[in-house]
Amino acid sequence: MSAADDHGATGRWEHFPHDADIGVRAFGATPEEAFVQAALAVMAAILDPSTVRLEQTIDIVLEAPRLDLLLVDWLNALIYEMAERRMVFGAFEVKIEDHHLKGRARGEVVSRSRHAPAVEAKGATYTELACVEDRPGLWRAQCVIDV
């Protein structure tokens, strides 16, 4: 499953197989864009993000000693907000400066009938974790999500 057929595009995501769970891999021109795409990939593991109405905004502030750890923290913060607020998200914004992240997630309270979520994300893991610039202008952010 992937967000775009055009693999030349920078901002996109895909799922990669893991025996029990789901791998998310995202690409972007910047780490911020890759983080946004990774968040969309997590949501797509649960439901179709295009069905989510953007009614509420949640702000998230994080810091971590490394960019890849920041990715895990970002995805885990979203998983926490989904669980605690009973929400699902469909759009994201991210700014990163010196391993400090300011993020924004927009979405709505989950509707079991309209969203029919397939799985619950338990946590983002360090398995297959990477946040690297594969070539100038192409960042890859990935890890496995325990569902």
CB atoms closer than 10 angstroms to residue 21? 16
* C-beta closer to other proteins: residue 112 or 135: 112
By CB under 8 A, residue 1 contacts other proteins: yes
By DSSP bridging, strand 138-146 and strand 123-124 are antiparallel
Helix (H) or strand (E) holding 138: strand 138-146
By CB under 8 A, residue 104 contacts other proteins: no
Q: How wide is the angle at C-alpha 43 spanned by C-alphas 27 and 19, nearest 5°? A: 80
Among 21, 29, 60, 93, binds other proteins (CB under 8 A): 21
**Positions in the binding site for other proteins (CB under 8 A):** 1, 15-22, 46, 65, 69, 72-73, 76, 79-80, 83-84, 86, 110-112, 115-120, 122-127, 129, 144, 146-147
